[in-house]
């Protein structure tokens, strides 16, 4: 006998499904509209391919996945902030604080990307060198 609980659970699942669909739509929009997101996608694919070829350990994959996730989260927040700022401050009315906010958000993406590249170099560097030695 499910009663109200079954009805509530069905509504909960539908609601989560709608939320996931909206999130997916946002990610698709970001990749289609933001050149940097496409660069991040290429870097993500490269890191995954290199990691698979190098047969990384589970701990190494955790570092790579965490670094990739940090960059994607920073890029998504930067894109959202830029969209809101562009909506709120329609040209020719530009405000210096809006410019600073957008610059800070872009700086956060840069920090995440540089940290991710450092993690990639530390984790993938030795693995790729070892892979090259085995192949050559």
pLDDT at 91: 72
Q: Between residues 82 and 128, which one has the greater pLDDT?
A: 82
Residue 1: the pLDDT is 47
pLDDT of residue 17: 86
Give the lowest-confidence range in 8-22, 66-80, 110-124: 8-22
Instruction: Give the mean pLDDT of the chain.
Output: 90
More confident residue, 79 or 136: 79
Q: Is the pLDDT score of 33 beyond 70?
A: yes
Residue 68 near residue 37 (C-beta atoms within 8 A): no
Using one digit for the tens of pLDDT, what is the confidence trace for 94-130?
Answer: 788 999 999 999 999 999 999 999 999 999 999 888 8
- Residue 135's pLDDT is 82
């Amino acid at each position: 006998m499910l009663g109200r609980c079954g009805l509530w659970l069905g509504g909960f699942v539908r609601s989560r499904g709608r939320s996931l669909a909206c999130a997916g739509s946002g990610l698709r929009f970001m990749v289609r509209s933001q050149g940097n997101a496409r660069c991040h996608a290429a870097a993500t694919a490269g890191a995954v391919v290199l990691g698979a070829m190098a047969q990384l350990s589970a701990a190494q994959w955790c570092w790579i996945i965490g670094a990739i996730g940090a960059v994607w989260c920073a890029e998504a927040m930067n894109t959202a902030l830029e969209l809101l700022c562009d909506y709120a401050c329609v040209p020719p009315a530009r405000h210096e604080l809006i410019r600073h906010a957008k610059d800070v958000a872009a700086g956060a993406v840069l920090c995440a990307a540089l940290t991710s590249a450092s993690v990639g170099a530390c984790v993938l560097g030795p693995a790729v060198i070892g892979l090259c030695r085995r192949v050559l």
